[in-house]
Structure 1
């Protein structure tokens, strides 16, 4: 069975792109599931899949995060990877789907877990906002704050792989990926016209997928009047080549196989001289 990919919210599970992409495991919080039930479900999952790679947002409640660590501690297992991600909700959702795609390939659980850090560099996650007055995830200038009070003003923002903020309708544009992507769009209380008619052509995306807006998006972006978007690599063959092109190491602490600069299971770092996080030459504009 493939390595299990788990999330902490059902709305972080996007529809699969093919028939081979497995579903994700939902790790509920203490407000909806008892500790005994959580331990029982994790035990069954480990028996069935061998390893679990759990992705959860940095904005998750403290109680829910403690539950994740409690389950791993009580079970005394090194087969659960807890990956805390400081990405917007839709960015986490598309990254989760990519790991679900990779989980059925011939990669070890350690490689799948550490691939999350690699692939996050290729997710362009942002939003169209009607206001940035409550946006605290990326730097916002006083000038932009002032413009937020002007009726009809809209802002385009990316939080990953680097923060950007522009006023829609001006001369500035958002820097996008230099490789072929698809664009996931989640509607809030705002029209997506600018995203579909300006951003998508400017980023030369190869297709648009409309998905449900994650419940945490409005809080993350500081407004419910938004359209969240994320450009991502959709093709499993490209993902496979990207991950395969990075040299594999053995974690000096837990012994599991990994790629990049940090073990996904125990978080032990690899010596800097041995790092090969980015795979040069794999992605090119217009590839599929």
Structure 2
């Protein structure tokens, strides 16, 4: 992980923590190479998850470390989820890391699991928000005192102006828990309105990630992410997808892209088979 505030507390005593891959302005290249070497010696493989909004210098550092070590045991996964959604995804991968999955399956599972994380935020302004299309009328409403907007960035973009008659954004069709993180907002809309509408089982609170205000374009927000918390469900979900062998590096994968070498499957094998392990009409993961 590239930021300590994206490492959520473990769900149980078995869930391991995550290693922190420091930015170039914090750690020298020599030290970063040494730390990665130790991780490889201790664990065999490293799955590094980092946000798409990471500083370019930090991303170059990750690739430099892998290049210097000349290692094919380091997966670099750029994830286009909001910060709290990434934190949830990383914890799910930490949960799965103690299961009997190979490193290649763990790495490629990140793309699968991200489709089941409903990540969004309550915003008091969308004037600087550009992650989801915002029309001029909605922009104009941002200037009205007291305006609030419910935004879902993943898996499908949604933006709703909150009002007495407004319906909340469409949520997951399967049982989830909800992680919330407050910024400079005192609104209880997420807990009092969104959570019941989405029929979440439990609400948890976390510290707002430091990257969230920049990602959402405002510090007046309440970020949230609905997710699958049960490791047994996560395990069945990953098991329900057909496994392939990467024709380039030889590692196992699910989906159509190797998490370690980023090589796509040949067209004839580019498919996913889903067993429908989630109840209540959960959608199958998209073929991407």
Whether TM-score is above 0.5 comes out as yes
Q: Distance in 1 between matches of 2:97 and 2:169?
A: 32
Unaligned runs of 5+ in 2: 283-288
Unaligned runs of 5+ in 1: 1-6
Structure 2 equivalent of residue 243 of structure 1: 238
| Deviation, structure 1 residue 275 | 3.6
- Find the partner of 1:52 among 30, 46, 49: 46
After superposition, the CA RMSD in angstroms is 1.3
Structure 2 equivalent of residue 215 of structure 1: 210
Q: Distance in 1 between matches of 2:125 and 2:134?
A: 11
> TM-score by structure 2 length?
0.95
Structure 1 equivalent of residue 277 of structure 2: 282
Structure 2 equivalent of residue 204 of structure 1: 199
Q: Distance in 2 between matches of 1:116 and 1:224?
A: 28
The answer as to 2:139 corresponding to 1:155 is no
Q: Deviations over 1:168-187 (max 9, x none)?
A: 11423201000000000001
- Distance change >3 Å, CA 200–CA 276, structure 1 → 2: farther
Runs of 4+ in 1 over 4 A off after TM superposition: none
Structure 2 equivalent of residue 99 of structure 1: 93
Matches within 5 A, 1:186-201: 186-201=181-196
- Find the partner of 1:137 among 131, 135, 139: 131
- Find the partner of 1:36 among 20, 24, 30: 30
Alignment coverage as a number of residue pairs: 281
> TM-score by structure 1 length?
0.95
The answer as to 2:33 corresponding to 1:18 is no
Q: Distance in 1 between matches of 2:48 and 2:230?
A: 22
Contact 1:233 1:239 in 2 (8 A): yes
Q: Distance in 2 between matches of 1:91 and 1:186?
A: 11
